[in-house]
Each structure stands twice: as structure tokens, then as C-alpha cells.
Amino acid sequence: MRVMLYDPNQVFSASIRPLLHRRGDITVDAGSPKALASDDDRVDCCLVALEAVSRNRILTDCRRPVFLITDREDGAVLRKAVSMSARGIANTHIMPQDLLVAVDRSMTDPPYYDPRLLRAALQPAPLLGARDAHELADHLTPREDDVLRRIVRGEPTSHMAAAMGVSVSTVRSHVQNVLGKLGVNSRLGAVAFAINYGLETVHDGSPQLSSAPSAP
């Protein structure tokens, strides 16, 4: 794999570059943000220090997969990554070898969202008690429960339809049913619900609620 690095402040490149070289990947340093939007077909993906890029447009114009790395821990940074259509984002607290795994995963099964950033972005103080949340989740049908788990994994609608053997319009209908039953108005809200209340599933498809994970 040929990887373009844009990390002028050495936020991550010094630690991940040796790992990339060790497994045979080739790294190329971007001299400026504009290089990220170049037409170099030899580059497979771009690893970018988010704080070094001041203009979102540069990344949205990039024709290759972009993985963002940040030293911030607030939820707004993940929303920014979503708006840029980034394949993934990770905080600099991650170990270099784990960062490499996250980058690889984002290339084959996007998106990858750092769990800390995801919790920060989507976990406001719970408005429901565990019992009330459980009652809402109990109203999900097995098919809707499957859709919720796919939403949490970040699957696009078209992928859900193909995997479930139904039409895109049917998936969209299931998604709206899930949002309505959970009392949220977006897919991100559904992910937030699942994280807030530790939503899990059992083999018979009925939802269960474990204790909510503690905030970082």
C-alpha cells in the first residue's frame, strides 16, 4: 500500500511510519494540504493530522480515502470527520500498532470511529432511566434490531439491503421505524442510544440492555 502522510507537526508520523515500512508499505510526505487533492493514482490512502488542515474543502476534494488523526477529545471533531466523509478518525492516545489496525479496517470496512471520540460526540447525559430505555428497545422487531446493529457498525443503506436481501426502500422503512421507536431523529442518534444504554442483542434477536459504559 502507498500511503500519503500529512503531519507537519509530527503528531503521528514518527511512530507509524516505521510500522508501515516494516510491512512493506511505501510512505509519501505531502508537502502541503493541496497535495492531498492531487491526482497521484499511486497513492492508496492519506493519513492526515486534522489540526494541520484548516480548510475542509481540501479533504472533501481528495479522491483517495482519508483517515484523520487528532489530539482533540471533544465530540465536535468526530462530527467534523463525518462532514468530510473521512474513512475514519482516531485520537493520538491510540498505540501506533492499534492505529495501523484502525487504518486497515477503515480501508476495508469504513468508517472507523475512535471509541473515545464516538462517546464524546454521541453520549450526552442519559435522559431516560435504564428501565424506560429497555421498554423502548423491547419494541424493536428482530429485523429492526438487526438494522440497529448495522447502523451502529456504520453500514450504508445499500450494503444493508444487499446483506438482508431486501430493497433499499425497505431498509429505509426499517431505519425510520428504529428511529421512531427509540425516540431519536437520526442514525447518529440511534448510535448514541445504543452507546448510552449499552444496547446489546441476544441470539433470539430480542434486545437487552446492559449497564451503560462510563464516560472517558
Pick the CATH number of 130-209 from 3.40.1260.10, 3.40.50.2300, 3.30.300.180, 3.40.50.1100: 3.40.50.2300
Tens-digit pLDDT profile for residues 65-104? 889 999 988 877 887 787 777 889 999 988 999 999 999 9
**DSSP class per residue in 68-117:** EEES--STHHHHHHHHTT-SEEEETTS-HHHHHHHHHHHHHS--EE-HHH
The answer to whether 2-121 and 130-209 have equal CATH topology is: yes
Domain residue spans in the chain? 2-121, 130-209
* Best CA proximity match to 191, nearest among 161, 148, 159, 155: 148
CA dihedral 117, 150, 111, 38 (to 10 degrees): -140
Confirm if 67 and 100 have CB atoms less than 8 A apart: no
**Percent of the chain clearing pLDDT 70 (strictly above):** 85
Confirm if 25 and 3 have CB atoms less than 8 A apart: yes
CB contact set of 213 (below 8 Å; sequence gap of 6+): 119, 195, 198
Confirm if 100 and 61 have CB atoms less than 8 A apart: no
Confirm if 130 and 210 have CB atoms less than 8 A apart: no
Tens-digit pLDDT profile for residues 164-211? 999 999 999 999 999 888 888 888 888 878 877 776 543 334 444 443
Backbone angles phi and psi of 171, in degrees to 5: -60, -45
Check whether domain 2-121 has CATH 3.30.450.30, yes or no? no
What pTM, to 2 d.p., does this model score? Answer: 0.58
